[in-house]
Amino acid sequence: MRKDIHPNQVAIYIRWSTDDQGEGTTLAVQREGCKAYLLSQGWQESPDLIFVDDGYSGATLDRPALTRLRRQVQAGAVDCVVVLKLDRLSRNVADMVHLVIEEWGDLCHLKSAREAIDTTNHAGRMFFYTLTSFAEWERATIRERTFAGKLKRAQAGQNPGMKAPYGYTSVGGAFQVVPEEADIVRCIFTQYQAGLGATRIAHELNQQGIPYRSRPGWDKTEVHRVLSRPLYCGDLAFGVRSRNPRHGKQPGQPFWVRNARPLALAEGAVPPIISRELFHQVQARKASRPNPRNQQSGRSLGSDYLLTGLVRCAHCNAALYGRRQSPGGRQYYVCSGRHSSGRAVCNAGHLPMAELDAHVIGLFLRRHGQSATRDRHVSAYLADLDQEQGQIRHRLHQADTRLQRLQEQAARLRREYRAGALTAPELREHLAEITAEESELTGHHRHLQQLLSTLAALPGPAELCARILPQIDPWAILPLPDRKHLLRCFIAQVRAHRPAHSARRAPLICEVIWKAAPEI
């Protein structure tokens, strides 16, 4: 049974992205709609429980305000979350189900001001899944239309909606040079062409106290980003990166891949900061330098440190890497953010490897090491999988029934036209409406079939129990590569931190983010 809703513990979540233009879901509209819903329910508005994500897509759950809201729910400070519409929370079916059904579960309610959402019964859950699926389909449609418009503007030499990078500002949609920042851009290109590396350039900029807009300092990633933009020589490039089709299927695959050529390139569309000759010289020097990432693919799995590739700094979110103090000495995890940008960006100290590894292993074995706990996780995972497959089959049946009725309706209209009961314009109008609905239902039907195929390909109980889970028992005798692979099946990320000046006195801050289900 879910707990009762306290009038003072109701949160409002608001999200708006540039893709939502014209939908009538601006921040002000959402805020007023949610407030009116709270008033109708007799609840009170709490300024501390209003969470706003301005300019964030609903494709993922990685949003600042939503992250804070999830922490408040876990802490028991929120009894109910109110949104204007369900797609404000997420436009992804898997993310929505994980967040509302699995993560929040009995912790809090979810209410929509414009939709009758009730996940406490089977009928309400079916309606919830249906709305979520249509929200994901709508997001895909909006993304396609938005991308086509952006590509057309870029081909015409106009700003396709890009944020003004460092060195420029956007005035009326057009880029204008910021003189102070332009001098820094020229300095970066000149120093790199003279032989300095990106890390050295970032250190010198930080020592001079030059900020990078919203960040307190520079790092080598930002320097490389500046060096890679053809915008600085006056060329507007669009479609330089695309979504990685293999992302999520193989560990370590980046979310974006770099295209060989941009989809649109308008030369001379932007006021240049550097010469085209200098830009091409810098690109040639970058291409001639070896790329350690390409030469050492999978190096995190092959390193001598258990958590390499998993652990990140809780202060600056940079990756931690292993380092030995001296030959035969103690081993530590070191923040790459502090190494590349200096103390102005991150104050993290070295974390002893033995202490951090022991802490994470202890949490892992307590969570998944007991056979009873393991069996319970497997049973719950399989039960949820079976329930979700049944709901998808039901929605497929509904879509098939509706498609059949539309076909029968079209046949009936043609018969009426032949009998003289309908005119030709009326027939075309009705058939156009039927065709549009058939197109939407066909796309929705295809999406549900793909989702059902994906769920059917997930491991069954025998494979789940036989391949991975029993390996936890002989943990002490497993070789290091097997231990690292096993942790990555259950752990999404480890966040750790300890201030540098109090490394011996301050307690170790460590948070383990678990995966919803093991990846086999």
Q: Enter the tokens of residue 433.
A: 């409406």
Question: Are the beta carbons of 218 and 210 closer than 8 angstroms?
Answer: yes
**In this structure, what is the dihedral angle of CA atoms 76, 80, 84, 88, given to the nearest 10 degrees?**
40
Angle of helix 179-194 relative to helix 220-227, nearest 10 degrees, comes to: 90
Pairing of strands 491-497, 236-238: unpaired
Show Cβ contacts of residue 102 under 8 Å, excluding neighbours closer than 6 positions: 384, 516
Cα distances (angstroms) measured from residue 138 to each of 21, 25, 142, 305: 14, 14, 6, 44
Active site annotation includes 326: no
What residues contact residue 44 under an 8 Å CB cut-off, 6+ apart?
Answer: 7, 8, 10, 38
Rounded Cα gap, residues 202 and 336, in angstroms = 13
**Tokens at residue 97, please?**
């189900």
Which residues pair with residue 352 across a beta bridge?
332
Catalytic site residue from 17, 90, 336, 341: 17
Cβ atoms 340, 202 nearer than 8 A = yes
456: nearest Cα among 377, 385, 520, 383 = 385
Other beta carbons within 10 angstroms of residue 107's beta carbon come to 15
Q: How far is CA 363 from CA 289, 349, 479, 513, in A?
A: 42, 23, 19, 11
**Cα dist from 498 to 81, 199, 318, 359, 363, whole Å:** 34, 24, 14, 14, 19
Known catalytic residues are 17
